[in-house]
Homo-oligomer: A and B are copies of this chain.
Amino acid sequence: MTRILLVDDETRFARALAISLRARGYEVVLAATGEEGLAEAARTHPDAVVLDLGLPNLDGLDVLRALRAWTTVPIIVLSARDQDASKVEALDLGADDYVTKPFSMDELLARIRAALRHGTKSADAPMVVTEHFSIDLADKRVTDIRGTNVHLTPTEWQILEVLARHRGKLVGQRQLLQEVWGPEYEKETDYLRVYMAALRRKLEPVPSSPQYFITEPGMGYRFS
């Protein structure tokens, strides 16, 4: 789960933001002071930090400096002041973004999403690993247990990609057909049977009794 550290002493605002973030599936760690924020950052290794400059005791810019001394986690700075000086300073100290109050919750959430994209751009290879093969979504490559490349045709790959993205979930036949062939093919369930057979032949250890590509009769398929 994506973890976000929120360093802010205005508990009312912080709580509202935390609720919004949690409602969207993020895990939120709260810190009310700069010291606490640094400690929590070290302890929980968040995927992004939202940092309010208006903190008691320790100045927000000092917190920023301290964080940047050891981590490249995306940091979004919030400020009540619209002063250029601190804005420029914060950005040059390594903040990824600077948002001035007042701002809408939607905007902040969008900026958090943008910041999270930066964090994952270089790291995080979207990989699905099983006991018998592994799927590299970024490289568009499938390798078997010995590291040999498994060749898939474009259609086979698209089906695998859709199933892998919904790992564990049931994907309806109509949905699969629409995502791979387009909306006008949603009745061509024959195609699915042919291609599921191909995928099983190439990836299942025992194609005749599938372990990863499960058929849910009358409904669709599931990858697990």
The residues of A with any CB-CB pair to B shorter than 8 Å are 72, 84, 87-88, 91-92, 94-98, 104, 106-107, 109-111, 113-114, 117-118, 121-122, 138-141, 153-154, 157, 168-170, 216-219, 222
Contacts and interface: CB of A to CB of B under 8 A. Distances in A.
Contacts of A217: 153-154
Contact of A121 (B72, B95, B113): B72
B121 A107 contact: no
B139 A168 contact: yes
Contact of A154 (B72, B110, B117, B218): B218
Nearest to A105: B84
A104 B100 CA distance: 14
28 contacts: A72-B121, A84-B106, A84-B107, A88-B109, A91-B107, A91-B110, A91-B111, A91-B113, A91-B114, A92-B113, A95-B114, A96-B114, A98-B111, A118-B121, A121-B121, A122-B122, A138-B169, A139-B168, A139-B169, A139-B222, A140-B216, A140-B219, A141-B170, A141-B222, A154-B217, A154-B218, A154-B219, A157-B219
Contacts of A222: 139, 141
A217 to B, nearest CB: 7
A138 B113 CA distance: 28
Nearest to A139: B169
A30 to B, nearest CB: 24
Contacts of A169: 138-140
Q: Nearest 8 CB-CB pairs, A to B? A: A122-B122, A91-B110, A140-B170, A154-B218, A88-B110, A91-B114, A84-B104, A139-B169
A189 to B, nearest CB: 14
